[in-house]
Amino acid sequence: MRGLKLGLVSAVLLFTTTMTQAQSNMDDVEIKATQLSERVYMLTGMGGNIGVYVGDDGVVMIDAQYKGLADKISAAIAEISSQPIRTLVNTHFHGDHTDGNAAFAKQGVKVVAHENVKTRLAANEKFDREGLPTITFDKALEVKTGSTAVRLKHYPNGHTDGDVVVWFPSSNVIHAGDLFFVDRFPFIDLNAGGNVQGFIDNVRAVIADIDGDTQIIPGHGGLSKRSDWLRLVHMIEATREEVMTMKEQGLSEDEAVAKGLSDQWADWAWNFITEERWIRTLYK
Ligand SMILES: [Zn+2]
């Protein structure tokens, strides 16, 4: 009894400590805005990069990072434009892009996403209902703001099954969502409709529609160009080849992890997608 009670107390303490740490981590986060064109900005903080478009009659923002950062993000956008935020687009359902949805929705911002994003968010009991997308689409959607429109296009089964790439009007800028992790092994969410071949195909499809000068806001990493994105595609193709060769030689998934990739890919590993996790994704 006593042991059980102590265990419970330490579990509660651990939980409280974790929450406090999460909050103080947020307190340390600074939202930085970078202007990319007359009306387009990129905001970085913690989580997926945010895109901001200043339209004729309001601001369209792409992704919302975490709830605990909503006030700082609002303040950063208020410095860019005195117009109200009208629309928030989610590039996909992951928490580091959608946790802040409810905070903006409560201020009257419309949340727009692919229909699979709404389905996945609604299935998550912990997700604040007020942050659920109210406007959903399947293949493509134009978010009109006066005479111009932000174009959203869905790409099936890549990072997840609800990925959207965003084209900003009258500027050569796009937001790639998590189809783009800069110089890191990407997260391909196999449990949520993600697919390695689909990821490659989708990136190549987007790349065919942009040019060498296009500024690309990646889901994670700094502002990039097409050549940076191609480097990611080439890495995926080359590491997949290495893992497929091991599989054909009869190595099990664990044996492939133990053998590892060739040294040239070591710099692509990071705390979330380690070499082990990347090999397991490719093997599956
Ligand atoms: Zn993601």
pLDDT digits (tens, 9 = 90+) for 236-258: 999 999 999 999 999 999 999 99
Task: Please report whether residue 3 resides in a domain.
Answer: no
What is the b/e burial string over 55-93, where b = at least 16 CB atoms within 10 angstroms of the residue's CB?
beebbbbbbbbbbbbbebbbebbeeebeeebbbbbbbbb
Judge whether 111 lies within some domain. Answer: yes
Residue 236 Cα to ligand 1 midpoint, Å, equals 17
Residue 135 domain flag: yes
44 lies in some domain: yes
Is the residue at 20 inside a domain? no
Residue 87 lies in a domain: yes
Near ion ligand 1, which residues have CB within 5 Å?
94, 178
Which pLDDT score is estimated for 272? 95
Ligand 1 center to 190 CA (angstroms): 12
Domain region containing 130 = 30-226
Give percent above pLDDT 70 in the chain.
92
The whole-angstrom distance between residue 275's C-alpha and the CA centroid of its chain comes to 20
| Residue 83 lies inside a defined structural domain of this protein | yes
pLDDT score at 16? 43
| Contact (CB, 8 A) for 203 and 232 | yes
Number of compact structural domains in the chain: 1
From edge to edge, which strands make up the β-sheet containing 58-62? Answer: 32-35, 40-44, 50-55, 58-62, 85-89, 110-114, 135-137
Helices 226-248 and 275-283 cross at an angle (nearest 10°) of 70
pTM of the model as a whole: 0.91
190 pLDDT more than 50: yes
Q: What is the distance between the alpha carbons of residues 33 and 56, in angstroms, rounded to a whole number?
A: 20
Residues 57-76: pLDDT tens digits?
999 999 999 999 999 999 99
Distance 205 CA to ligand 1 centre (A): 19
CA of 163 to the centre of ligand 1 (A): 9
pLDDT tens column, 199-229: 999 999 999 999 999 999 999 999 999 999 9
Percentage of the chain lying above the pLDDT 90 cut: 89
CA of residue 178 to ligand 1 center, whole Å: 5
Cβ neighbours around 28 below 10 Å, total: 7
Q: Is 70 exceeded by the pLDDT of residue 22?
A: no
Question: Does residue 18 form part of some domain?
Answer: no
Ligand 1 mean position, distance from CA 38 (Å): 28
- 89 Cα: distance to centroid of ligand 1 (angstroms): 14
What's the CA-to-centroid distance between 156 and ligand 1, angstroms?
14
- How confident is the model at residue 211, as a pLDDT? 98
Cβ-contact 68, 26 below 8 angstroms: yes
CA of 181 to the centre of ligand 1 (A): 9
Distance 74 CA to ligand 1 centre (A): 22
Q: From ligand 1's centre to the CA of 160, what distance in Å? A: 8
CATH code of the domain in which 186 resides: 3.60.15.10
Query: What is the rounded average pLDDT of the residues 135-160?
Result: 97
Which residues does 94 contact at the CB level (< 8 Å), separation at least 6?
Answer: 48, 160, 178, 189
CB atoms within 10 A of CB 149: 17
Q: Write out pLDDT tens, residues 27-49.
A: 899 999 999 999 999 999 999 99
